[in-house]
Structure formats: structure tokens, C-alpha cells
Amino acid sequence: MKTNRRKFFQIAGVAGAGVLSGVDIVQYQSSRHKETALASIQEAVAKQHSQQFNMCGYAAPKLETVRIGFIGLGNRGPGAVERMSNIEGVQITALCDKNPEGVKRGQMILEKHGMPSAKEYSGSEDAWKQLCESPDVDLVYICTPWSLHTPMSVYAMENGKHAATEVPAAVNGRGSMAAC
Ligand SMILES: NC(=O)c1ccc[n+]([C@@H]2O[C@H](COP(=O)([O-])OP(=O)(O)OC[C@H]3O[C@@H](n4cnc5c(N)ncnc54)[C@H](O)[C@@H]3O)[C@@H](O)[C@H]2O)c1
């Protein structure tokens, strides 16, 4: 009995030492990891970086008159035309929808507000490209289905226009990168 008790304490003692050693190893590894992580952070902070342009705080030069071209005059587009028609300093110079009825709806809103008729782009899936290329447009306002938001925004910007789009501006990561 005595022998068994002694044996038990011997085994328990060894196991206890083993457990303690295990904790020590984990702590050691963890502190080594922290040291390495800290060293890599310190190294990164010490590096000199050249400043790269980003859009934070960017303000585009002021336009006295903002000439807007709308693409997509289904449900949402006419409401946007209506809202913009009430803003001082806005001209609506172009209206586009592949469906000519949509363009007609937009023209009626302009008429109601006593504004001049806008140039019409319609009758094909690609007519919007001509609107984006037009020298009479400063801002392209996009109210088409989701899949067209990114290509239309990007094409407008490639043609030197500001672009505003209904959400979402992009439906995947690649589109987000393209829009940036
Ligand atoms: N309706 C809402 O309450 C609401 C709210 C928030 C956001 N949105 C977004 O606004 C956008 C438009 O919504 P909606 O309800 O007006 O949709 P809608 O389908 O009624 O209108 C889209 C219009 O885009 C036109 N169009 C499609 N392909 C075209 C092309 N290649 N060239 C020119 N015109 C083209 C269609 O003919 C149609 O008139 C959608 O992306 C939607 O998610 C809508």
C-alpha cells in the first residue's frame, strides 16, 4: 500500500512536471512569437515609403453648372431626373434608355420644369456609350440594372466624366477594383 502511494506520487510528480514544462514551452513560444511580430512591425514602421495618391480628401474642381446625362429611365431614373431638376446650377443635357419610352418620360419631366429638351440616346444596348463620350455632359448618372453599373461608371470616368450610380457600384471584387 505504502509502495503504491509512493509510486502514485512519483508518477503524479513527473506528470505534473511534464504539464508545467508544457506550459513553459507554450509561454516561451508565445513570447518568441510576440517578439518576432513586434520586430516585423518595428521594421515596417522604420521603412521609408514614397507617398502614393489616394482619393481621401480629394475635391474635384468646382463646376458653375453641372451638366448631367442620365442612363436608365425605368422606375428609379425619372425620380432622379425630377430631383436633379430642382437643384440650382444643374442642366440635364442627355437622356438615355435602350427603351425610347424611358427617354420620353425624362423629357416630360424637363418640360414640366421649363427646362430645355435633352439630347436623346436610345434604340440600342450601346447607345449609352455615346452619352458618356459627349462633350456636353459633366456627370453621368446611372440608374440601370446592377450588372451595368460598373461598366457604365468606368466608361464614363474613362471619358473624363464624373459618375454617379445607383447602389451597388460593383457586384464583386474585380468590379470594385475597376471602379477605383
Ligand atoms: N427602384 C428602387 O426603389 C431602387 C432603390 C434603390 C436602388 N435601385 C437601383 O436602381 C437601379 C434601377 O432600378 P429600377 O427599379 O429603376 O430598374 P428598372 O428595371 O425599372 O430600370 C432600369 C432601366 O435601365 C434601362 N436599361 C437597361 N439596359 C440598358 C442599356 N444597355 N442602355 C440603356 N438603358 C438600359 C431599362 O430599359 C430600364 O428602363 C437598379 O440597379 C436598382 O437596384 C432601385
Concatenated DSSP letters of 16-35 = HHHHHHHHHHHHHHHHHHHH
- The number of beta carbons lying within 10 Å of the beta carbon of residue 68 is 24
pTM over 0.95: no
Whether 99 lines ligand 1, by a CB cut-off of 6 Å, is: yes
Lowest-pLDDT range of 41-55, 65-79, 145-159: 41-55
The single-letter DSSP state of residue 114 is T
State the pLDDT at residue 19.
44
Q: Rounded mean pLDDT of 90-111?
A: 98
Distance 77 CA to ligand 1 centre (A): 7
Q: Tell me how far the alpha carbon of residue 35 is from its chain's centroid.
A: 37
Distance 46 CA to ligand 1 centre (A): 50
Distance 66 CA to ligand 1 centre (A): 23
CA-based torsion, 96, 83, 107, 73: positive or negative: positive
The single-letter DSSP state of residue 86 is T
